[in-house]
Structure 1
Amino acid sequence: RKRLKPLRTVVAWRGRAEWDQVMVGLYCGDSRLQQEALDRVSAWKSRYGPKMPLAVDCTAELIRCKVLDSSGRLKSHELILSYGLALVRFVNLITERKQKMVSIPLRQLAREVDIPIWVVDLRHELTHGKLPRLALCRKGCDVVLDWLRKTYWSRQLGNNLCEESEDEEEEQEGVEANAELDNDAWE
């Protein structure tokens, strides 16, 4: 009687150490190390193609914006467009997986996956309204990167490396962002 071998999952990274190194590099705040991590993610993407986890792809796009921002090579308008595209893609890709046969409002989907509503409102402004200020795009990027770290990367590590945010602080951020967007007209 033959014994079945356990199924193995094929991934683009060489092993756990490489995965951990890339995660640390992406979130370290040092542009040089972030760029090295982005280069590694690009190599993963070339190996793995469309099977690349959405969270990895979104994280890389958002970190790329931060690296470009810190380089000082882009004008404010170009940075807004860069952050904007990454934020729109994040909201669309993450919520798309939750869509069923019936169209569900993005705000409802965002609530289901704990994405702050004001990030969806920011996505709406970027897509349909007047471009927001760069500061709001940067804040959106930081909030989304934190969401990805808590929701995806830390879970992949199998432990909680993240500190839990204070509910009051998140609420205040949402109030400030909503005030800046002034988009109570759509839901």
Structure 2
Amino acid sequence: MVQYVFTPWRDRQELLLVREQFYGSGALTQAAGASGRVQGDEGQQGLNQGDARRRTTAAAAAASTNRQASREQADGEKHKAVGRVSMWMQRGNCPHMVESTALLMAAVLSDEAAATGNAGASTYAVRAAYAAAFSRFVTGLLDGHQDKLRKQSMYSIAKNIGLPATFVELRHQATHEQLPSLAKLRSAARKALDWIWDYYWKHLGEADRAKDPCKELLSKDMAATANEGSGPEPAGRQVPEEQDQEQELEQDPDQSPERTTGWSRYSGAWKPKPIGVV
């Protein structure tokens, strides 16, 4: 029996795009560029100290500007990913790992945005956002692996799936006790995002970028049908419209083919005819 799986995303490419927006794809490139800049600075030791100091200062300023621009661009991509996942959640059937990634990332972005505002008024709100996102992540994940016939503790399920026990402890503290400190919640959110990457996102490899076999088969059939339609017609085969035109010409030899191709100017004396008479 065929089992249909409905996903909120359009295709697998859209899901991989969200993964790239969340976690980025240029970490190795940035690391290679940083090592290249260090080697370039070491080559300036043979110059005089004044020029070396000025060039080092200019290079540091340029590097700082580039890092700031890349950070802003990465934050913009993360905001887009959070908005896209929010739309998927409205459609339904959104995986819990995707939703948890968006909630944790939204808390991280809110924390970064609140750093420039009133710290006293925003700290508690950021702690609440972290706690809600983290608690929903742990609770939804463990409830999904719960056996309905034989109830298990959260620690047992976490051990079976490889979830750290500290996540369960922090979830219990955020739910039933006083909110954890902001530093503790920040560290837990970063670790949770890394764990979700290893548990879910990392397994969406390049093999999933292959086209859908159903779409490939359908495209091949459509191409074959188009080729058959554009091929040469048999000698004895005529289109019905051409046959009708030939019959009309045989019945009225004086009628030219131009009459059937569109408007033409009437030649000869005009004779009025009653309405309805051709």
TM-score of the pair, normalised by structure 2: 0.51
Deviations 1:24-70 (A, max 9, x none): 111237221100111111222223x1x11111111111111011111
Q: In the alignment, does 2:161 pair up with 1:113?
A: yes
- Aligned residue runs from structure 1 range 1-187, under 5 A: 9-28=5-24, 30-47=74-91, 49=92, 51-72=93-114, 75-100=122-147, 101-157=149-205
Deviations 1:77-103 (A, max 9, x none): 111111001111111100002222333
- Indicate conservation of the 8 Å contact 1:31/1:70, yes or no: no
Distance 1:128 1:7, change over 3 A: closer
Structure 1 unaligned spans of 5+: 160-187
Kindly provide the amino acid, as one letter, of the partner of residue 61 in structure 1. L
Distance 1:98 1:9, change over 3 A: closer
Structure 2 unaligned spans of 5+: 25-70, 208-278
- Offset of 1:22 from its aligned partner? 0.6
- Indicate conservation of the 8 Å contact 1:80/1:133, yes or no: yes
Distance of 2:159 and 2:95 partners within structure 1: 21
- Offset of 1:124 from its aligned partner? 1.0
Name the Cα RMSD after superposition: 2.1
Distance of 2:137 and 2:150 partners within structure 1: 21
- Indicate conservation of the 8 Å contact 2:16/2:204, yes or no: no
- Offset of 1:7 from its aligned partner? 5.9
- Offset of 1:126 from its aligned partner? 0.6
Deviations 1:132-175 (A, max 9, x none): 1111111111111111111111112367xxxxxxxxxxxxxxxx
Structure ID, larger Rg: 2
Deviations 1:108-141 (A, max 9, x none): 1111111111111111111112221111111111
Higher mean displacement: 52-61 or 14-23: 14-23
